[in-house]
Structure 1
Amino acid sequence: MPRKGMRSIFFKSSSPSRAIIPPPSQSRPFSESLMDENIDLAESLITEWDSDVSSYCKIISLFHGDRTEAKQYLRSVRDLQSAMQLLVTQDSASDQLVRAQNLMRMAMKRLEKEFYQILSDNREYLDPESVSVSTRSTRSSAARSSVSDLEDDESDEEFLVAGESISEVEIISTVAMADLKAIADCMISSGYAKECMKIYTIVRKSIIDKALYHLGVERLNLSQVQKMDWEVVELKIRSWLNAVKIALKTLFYRERILCDSVFPGSFPIAETCFAEISGESGMILFGFPELVAKCKKSPEKMFRTLDLYEAISDHWPEIEYIFSFESTSAVRTQAINSQIKLGEAVRGMLTDFEMAMQKDSSKTAVPGGGVHPLTRYVMNYISFLADYSGILADIVADWPLVLQSPLPESYFGSLESDNSPITVRIAWLILVLLCKLDGKAELHNDVALSYLFLANNLQYVVVKVRTSNLKLLLGDDWVTNHESKVKQYASNYERMGWSKVFASLQENPTAEIPPEQARDSFKKFNAAFEETYRKQKAWIVPDPKLRDEIKVSVAKKLVSAYKDFFERNRVGSESFVRYTPDDLGNYLSDLLYGSGGGGSVSSSSLSCDWPRRQGR
């Protein structure tokens, strides 16, 4: 070794006073002698591992076994570099310097091959998962220094001890990273940083690009996306939502860990390598949401657009950390731009959704006064919007609701004045629906049926709010206020729908009346009840709770009044009595189930396939 050669420099006689010191003209400086020895030792090792000289070296790696020769090789290259630096200061045109430079080129050629070989052969052990585990579990252990610490032979024993507690994959990964770091340090200190970086980025970029491709991430342009059917775009969105999680939590994040591990002492080099490896892929990954946002907007695209917005928002801390370098700022900018465009698309779709409701012009009455398809569609849509209330709150925060004229507070159903913009906007969308339903109620040719229609549809709205996240937005007061309106509509139906039947009875059912008048009252009651029953047999109340409440209310008033009249006047009027009080109860129990069925009504401009939210 070079240090052992230092002993030959000095010679001592038995007598200190007679030490033999050659005259300056006949001796060589200490540094020159050490320099020549370093070059000679380097030449012996470098030529031994020259693939052009030895066929054995073409198939065997320098970094095999216990790494003893690898340590000696790297140390000799470092010593050769020191010798070259000294030669340059003495004689930049000397034959010795030319010899050293040729040896350095041979050494770098060998190290380039070793560097590439380790990167290629250990792909499965340098995958992001292995890198993360090994660096996390052994970052401070001797395992990381077993090869890179070329001066400490005891580290090998420590590595073996550390290796007992970690898996084989972690050991291989750790050793590979240590080898890569050792080679990188040597090449960089020898002035071959550019060559080292080129090999590293080519190999690692291909791995990242291939991984993203298998995750379904591909380079697309706006024209390609716009030409796709929405079903195809939706599949790509689902793939992207899965890919972005893996890319940020595994691929990019752990690729940065690997860069920092291989180039720990060269921050600019680690940054440059990571930027070249991940920059383009990051731009492609976060460019896709912007392409989706620029496509033609329609209500059924709302929820996938929100999924994209939410994914970027949720993963922003990872994006900001992983791409924190100035050289990767374009990726951060692309992610921000995509989120901005997605937000604009959502606001546009909310506006279009409201306009579609307001422009709805369907003129077909719902058979039996049941729930209108428009009500089902809108409330299902709005209840799904409530699942994204956090994201929507961010999107509409600086997008206040602008009305042509101020509306009374009661129109919003007792909303507090300090409600968030998303709460006010959701309440407004429901209000637009209820106003449209008021108009559609007029399509029914019976006033009582119109009120039943309003009760049914408002009940559907209230139940949807009460059983979804809409209740968290609108609050208990809103629900209570609209429940009272349902009862009011039901009461109006009862009053208008059964007025003729109640009018056929005496105002005071217990009062004594002549037999002729009693028989006439029974005849009027029979006719009024049969007409009402026949008409309402096709009417429907889909909600079981509301249906029972209405029938109980009608029965309680009607059967009670008829029973008093029946018991007072049935004697002498037997031939005119068709119904007993119990009969009335049985007939009433059969009502509001809708004998004709609910029917099918188009919801005009809002009609479309209900947006599917697979994977949520």
Structure 2
Amino acid sequence: MPGKGVTSFCFSPKASSSTHSHSLSRFAFSPSQPSLSETLMDRNLATAEPTIMKWDPQSTTVGRITSLFHHNRREARDFIQAVNSLQKTMHLLLTDNSTSSKLAAPKTLMQIAMKRLEKEFYQILSMNRAHLDPESVSTRSLRTSSTGSSTSDYEEDDDDCVRVANEMISEVEDASTLAMEDLRLIAECMVSSGYAKECMKVYKIIRKSIVDEGIYRLEVEKYTSSQIHKMDWQVLELRIQSWRNALTTAVKTLFNGERILCDHVFASSDSIRESCFTEITKEGAMILFGFPENVAKNSKRSPDKVFRLLDMYSGISDHWLEIDSIFSFQLTITIKSQALTSLIKLGEFVHAALNDFESAVLKDSTKSPVLGGGIHHLTTEVMNYLSILADYSNILSDILADSPPPAKHSFPYSYLGFPDSDASPAPPVSLKMAWLILALLCKLDAKANYYNDVSLRYLFLANNLQYVVAKVQTSNLKHLLGAGWLAKHESTVKQFAANYERHGWGDVIDSIPSNLTAADTPVKIKEIFKKFNTSFNQAYKKQSLCVVPHRKLRDDIKASIARKIEPLYRQFYSSHRLTMRRARNSVSVVRFAPEDVGHHISVMFSGTEE
């Protein structure tokens, strides 16, 4: 609220009160040969003087203590009508080259009227702060309907307009509507009478205090670059969340409501609307829209901060049409420019942070192999990160739209999992995701070499690639990478699993002859059983320490191993068990029944579903 000094300044009289105490009729024109304009002036002066002087804040009790518009709305409109008629007649006198002496009386009366309206304007703005708060105003679709119209309608057919206004009031029964209409009526009268500066000053002081208070209540603060740089990230995250909440309220309610009110009150003048709205909102809007740029430029860059900056980018982007509409004046272009600059700086931060993320993946120095060929921590960290990142695919599409794709000459395009064709290249955001996953897979391929056992290498690759595929299938990565990418990598998982079987269980499978006639003597049969016992026992002991966390992959591998071993062994066992039963020490020779083999395979690969 403006202070007492402001109030006294706004309402300091331009003419002394002693002048007002005498009747203005002594300025009446000489009856000798009056012109048409002089005759009209005499008539308007006689009509306007009682109405205006009644509400002179300097000379009458009612003028000092009573609000004209609150006291009697019909009388208030009569007052406006009298001032408008007086102003028109004064203009007519000027065009007739009348002497300044003939304008003295109407000028004095006009000054009194303007003081009254200036006071009314201030009182309505001050007393209706609650009714004119941005939330109340922003619910009204008054901007388009009010801009371009004028209260000249009141002058042309006052009775009809009063009737329409009363009907609207009776329907809406809203104090904010009444206040807005009164403010508009006063503003247009003062502007047309040459008192725009006084009207604007009062409006700017009061409305800026309301906007500034709103920004303060939204906890929007101005930080220096040094403050942001030194701020703990957890604290800054809270500030960012608070900023996101403030942005929505500020755009949809605070600034939008202020724009609607300003457009309505000063509908008759584009330049006044622009000047008032800009001065009222610029400071708060620049602080609000400048915060993301400050964070992007002065935060210590790291991949884990990307999501909060994407949230800020999303906030501005989601409200851009509203921002562009609200701040559409030429004078407010710096505000839109600040919002756009913040978007650019946020995008640059995300670009750089993703490059840092890729470097971090490629520089991972963990050398200890994961027990049992299980999921590497790098795989879970990268894929969890990328699956969350994919939730921002729309925003990333904007940020990465101008990013150059990886040079096709440096590697086969199919390495990314996309068709090696120029017909329909993948969008930049899809290429970026595929590229980051490729960086992970290359690193995993190198880490597989830390296993001395070849079968474990392939199981490690199968487990980790299956984890990657599963994460893609259950996140928005699925839509970014597409069915072709998934099919290619699912096929690779099967290849890794097949290689694991060949190296881990090949000796067991090869120990059983596919041709039963090859075992034609008890000695050969005994050798085959012993070889199977040894190879199966060794494979089982080694592979039982392996883990396959993904349920389907685990079941598929066990089923595949069982299909390759059980039928052949069952057939061989059924064909030669009687021969071995008659042989000496048959118990030590035939150690596994077919059911035992199936059971051993079925309980392998402990692990939980990922």
Asked if TM exceeds 0.5, the reply is: yes
User: Secondary structure, in 3 states, of the residue corresponding to 1:63?
Assistant: helix
CA shift in 2, pair 1:147/1:214, >3 Å? farther
**Whole-angstrom distance in 2 between the partners of 1:203 and 1:487:** 72
CA shift in 2, pair 1:60/1:494, >3 Å? same
**Whole-angstrom distance in 2 between the partners of 1:404 and 1:477:** 19
The unaligned stretches of length 5 or more in structure 2 are 1-29
CA shift in 2, pair 1:34/1:285, >3 Å? same
Deviation at 1:436, TM superposition (A): 0.2
Residue 78 of structure 2 corresponds to residue 72 of structure 1: yes
**Whole-angstrom distance in 2 between the partners of 1:526 and 1:305:** 61
Give yes or no for contact 2:550–2:609 (8 Å, CA) kept in 1. Answer: no
Give yes or no for contact 2:512–2:528 (8 Å, CA) kept in 1. Answer: yes
Q: How many residues align?
A: 567
**Whole-angstrom distance in 1 between the partners of 2:154 and 2:227:** 49
Residue-by-residue CA offset, 1:592-615 (whole Å, 9 max, x unaligned)? 115xx999xxxxxxxxxxxxxxxx
User: Secondary structure, in 3 states, of the residue corresponding to 1:388?
Assistant: helix
CA shift in 2, pair 1:138/1:468, >3 Å? closer
Structure 2 partner of 1:365: 369
Deviation at 1:373, TM superposition (A): 1.3
Deviation at 1:164, TM superposition (A): 4.3
Q: Among residues 119, 123, 130, which one is paired with 1:124 in the alignment?
A: 130
**Whole-angstrom distance in 2 between the partners of 1:336 and 1:259:** 24
Residue 98 of structure 2 corresponds to residue 90 of structure 1: yes
Question: Relative to structure 2, which stretch is displaced further, 329-338 or 220-229?
Answer: 220-229
CA shift in 2, pair 1:69/1:248, >3 Å? same
For residues 133-172 of structure 1, the aligned pairs below 5 Å read 133-136=139-142, 139=145, 151-166=157-172, 168-169=173-174, 172=175
Deviation at 1:446, TM superposition (A): 1.6
**Whole-angstrom distance in 2 between the partners of 1:84 and 1:478:** 81
User: Secondary structure, in 3 states, of the residue corresponding to 1:419?
Assistant: coil
CA shift in 2, pair 1:124/1:146, >3 Å? farther
For residues 521-532 of structure 1, the aligned pairs below 5 Å read 521-532=528-539
Q: Which amino acid aligns with 1:228?
A: M
**Whole-angstrom distance in 2 between the partners of 1:494 and 1:523:** 21
Structure 2 partner of 1:604: none
Structure 2 partner of 1:274: 277
User: Secondary structure, in 3 states, of the residue corresponding to 1:387?
Assistant: helix
Q: Among residues 582, 587, 593, which one is paired with 2:595 in the alignment?
A: 582
Residue 287 of structure 2 corresponds to residue 284 of structure 1: yes
Deviation at 1:175, TM superposition (A): 1.7
Deviation at 1:549, TM superposition (A): 0.4
Q: Among residues 253, 258, 270, which one is paired with 1:255 in the alignment?
A: 258
Structure 2 partner of 1:205: 208
Question: Relative to structure 2, which stretch is displaced further, 443-452 or 509-518?
Answer: 509-518
For residues 409-488 of structure 1, the aligned pairs below 5 Å read 409-415=413-419, 416-417=421-422, 418-488=425-495
Q: Which amino acid aligns with 1:123?
A: R
Structure 1 partner of 2:360: 356
**Whole-angstrom distance in 2 between the partners of 1:211 and 1:235:** 19
Residue-by-residue CA offset, 1:510-555 (whole Å, 9 max, x unaligned)? 6434334433443343333233222222211111111000000101
Structure 2 partner of 1:592: 605
CA shift in 2, pair 1:296/1:273, >3 Å? same
CA shift in 2, pair 1:137/1:46, >3 Å? closer
Residue-by-residue CA offset, 1:226-264 (whole Å, 9 max, x unaligned)? 222222222222232333233333322332222121111
Deviation at 1:454, TM superposition (A): 0.2
CA shift in 2, pair 1:137/1:474, >3 Å? closer
Deviation at 1:425, TM superposition (A): 2.2
Residue 181 of structure 2 corresponds to residue 182 of structure 1: no
CA shift in 2, pair 1:83/1:408, >3 Å? closer
Deviation at 1:59, TM superposition (A): 3.6
Residue-by-residue CA offset, 1:98-117 (whole Å, 9 max, x unaligned)? 55444433332222221111
CA shift in 2, pair 1:464/1:298, >3 Å? same
Give yes or no for contact 1:147–1:179 (8 Å, CA) kept in 2. Answer: no
User: Secondary structure, in 3 states, of the residue corresponding to 1:327?
Assistant: coil
CA shift in 2, pair 1:206/1:26, >3 Å? closer
Give yes or no for contact 1:148–1:179 (8 Å, CA) kept in 2. Answer: no
TM-score normalised according to structure 2 size:
0.85
**Whole-angstrom distance in 1 between the partners of 2:169 and 2:109:** 36
Deviation at 1:275, TM superposition (A): 1.0
CA shift in 2, pair 1:278/1:30, >3 Å? same
Q: Which amino acid aligns with 1:532?
A: A
Q: Which amino acid aligns with 1:67?
A: R
Deviation at 1:299, TM superposition (A): 0.6
**Whole-angstrom distance in 2 between the partners of 1:450 and 1:537:** 15
Deviation at 1:65, TM superposition (A): 4.8
Structure 2 partner of 1:557: 564
Residue-by-residue CA offset, 1:294-320 (whole Å, 9 max, x unaligned)? 122111111222222233333322222
Give yes or no for contact 1:367–1:598 (8 Å, CA) kept in 2. Answer: no
Give the RMSD, CA atoms, in angstroms. Answer: 3.0
Give yes or no for contact 1:146–1:159 (8 Å, CA) kept in 2. Answer: no
Q: Which amino acid aligns with 1:298?
A: S
Structure 2 partner of 1:7: none
Structure 2 partner of 1:111: 117
Question: Relative to structure 2, which stretch is displaced further, 459-468 or 412-421?
Answer: 412-421
Give yes or no for contact 2:169–2:177 (8 Å, CA) kept in 1. Answer: no
Q: Among residues 54, 60, 68, which one is paired with 1:62 in the alignment?
A: 68
Structure 1 partner of 2:233: 230
Q: Which amino acid aligns with 1:375?
A: T
